[in-house]
Amino acid sequence: GRARRDRGAHSRVRPGTNPKTLEAKVKVELEAALVKDREEVAALENVEGDPLPSAEVMARELTRILGRSELSFELLPDGKHYRVTRHGRPARDLSTGERTAITLIHFLESVKRADTGQAKPIVVIDDPVSSLDGGSAMGISTYIWSEVVSKSHIEQVFLLTHNFELFRQWDI
């Protein structure tokens, strides 16, 4: 039985396949499955707590705000923290715009997932574009508008700012 099963597993490998290539491919597939499982466990553990947005949502929304996609997220084994990477390596020295965008995404995704019963939450955002360059500020402003004003899961938003340009964009 066992000897046949082992031969069967090896017979699926194409002749001439490099074992190191096959090992690397299996490792990548297993790591991807592990990341997905960790995210699922974290989501299940956080049902009654502070739900985490998925790493995929964080990366997608950050790309939407900043207009570039070199940053990605990996849920750590504790299921409560992310590892931020830039081009696959640990991200060092995140800019103010990157940190602001990450924080805002996490906050608004948490608001979206919060169980508030039938009442919609009231959200206060304090000076989200302080110390940002024009491109990052516009991305943040657009993101807030699309997530808070254009959708119906928030009752009211208070946006506090010292930035006159942001004020003019939101003066409706």
pLDDT at 4 over 70: no
- Count of C-beta atoms within a 10 Å radius of residue 64: 16
Q: Are 106 and 59 in contact (CB under 8 A)?
A: no
**For the residues 1-10, what does the mean pLDDT come to?**
48
Count Cβ neighbours within 10 Å for each residue of 109-137 and write b for 16 or more, e otherwise.
bebbeeeeeeeeeebebeebbeebeeebb
Confidence bin at 41 (pLDDT 50/70/90):
low
Q: Mind listing the pLDDT tens digit for each residue in 98-130? A: 999 999 999 999 888 887 788 899 999 999 988
Confidence bin at 89 (pLDDT 50/70/90):
very high
C-alpha–C-alpha distance, residues 152 and 84, integer Å = 30
**For the residues 11-30, what does the mean pLDDT come to?**
76
pLDDT at 154 over 80: yes
**For the residues 125-146, what does the mean pLDDT come to?**
87
Can you give the pLDDT at residue 49? 45
pLDDT at 46 over 70: no
C-alpha–C-alpha distance, residues 124 and 108, integer Å = 11
C-alpha–C-alpha distance, residues 118 and 121, integer Å = 10
More confident site: 142 or 11: 142
The single-letter code of the amino acid at 4 is: R
C-alpha–C-alpha distance, residues 72 and 32, integer Å = 14
